[in-house]
Structure 1
């Protein structure tokens, strides 16, 4: 079933193009400045006799993760896709949304589908069951990165069922989301496939879960390294934290708590790496 395309409307509450560009430039300038204030960390390895030696190789990491300067989400697009929310402040929706997303999260986890091996389709069918029908996802994100491929290598794409309300109310930098109201009256539902290029596809599941729940405790637990982690493990944790931060910046996620959690994790991980070096 073909998908209707979202018409463009103007809304005085949406930041102007000039404001958005200025905000991105400010964020880029801040990132460049902070990148110069980096912590050099020497790595360690175990000698044959069991002693620990410090190698000459060093890892240089920024002290802080700069926060993107963001405007508000596109309220006209949000109201067009969800007319019942017209006039409701996006901040209010974000604050109260987690209390209504239990069925949405369950539906996302229950979705069964497969991606064709040849080309990415514009639509996909998902198998309908009682759990999915209770809060059927509206779109399927096809997440990938733009890392260069070697000859004959295929691009890795991961599928994530989502509800457009969750994305529209949290993210200022979304690709165009066509209107989608999948029918739940048959054994299958057809949803649009949205290609989404992100810096760190492997950490998107963490961001996907957080946008539905805003559960900072779970996010902290999933990214906090163990007390006995070595330098290699700590570096892996730092990479995941940084990847999640890059995804949030790329999507323009509006959530002060998220950036607070990421900075807390980043600082504690850097501290552990310094103690280990």
Structure 2
């Protein structure tokens, strides 16, 4: 079993109790957030933007901070949010994201084209409707073709969502699961599963699962929550920008979204991604030997 050495930080309660408390705060926050979003409504672009901000802050940031303030003697240290990542690790984290785009696009296409057996056709329709509704919400947040719409969308979907979701999933849930399971890899993949499942988009489940695991390993390799925050925000911002360009009639953006369907590009992307991850691990091991985490 692989034990963790960089997720230190004393807890005031047992790991299992920390997990229960975290879940309880999450449920309470979701109830509160749902009430607030219902009052706000999602009929207009402004209301959808405001509802998204409320969701990020109330449903993700609030339960994490409340839990950590109660269970941790050093909350920022426990979430690995008290230091910036090393420049080399941060650079290769971004490079890995960029070079992985072609083969990730092929995985997205494969997941989108999965079909259930005939006996489950009604369930498949429900799930596809959920996918369509999620896409409509994103398009509503973007709102239009003005540059101000792009900036606002990047701030909400890119920056705020990147911070709030990484704070919740990697800073909160993963750090608690590391202590509960004693196994970093189990904690990373369990968190990634929850991360993908919470989005409730089955036809994007597997790419999001891998992306969640990647964010989890970025935290492990860098010992800093801010690297997965940065890469998550960058990933979301790229998607927002391509969607916005599509609304302005730039067909090149749609071509970029489908970049990597050709198997040669997928193979090259997979090789480059593997090499970049290998460098990340090498940088990480060197830093851990140097600083003796």
What TM-score do the two structures reach when normalised by structure 2?
A: 0.32
Normalized per residue, the structure richer in helix is 2
Q: TM-score, normalised by structure 1?
A: 0.33
Higher relative contact order (CA 8 A, sep 6+): 2
Please identify the structure whose Cα radius of gyration is greater. 1
More strand by share: 1
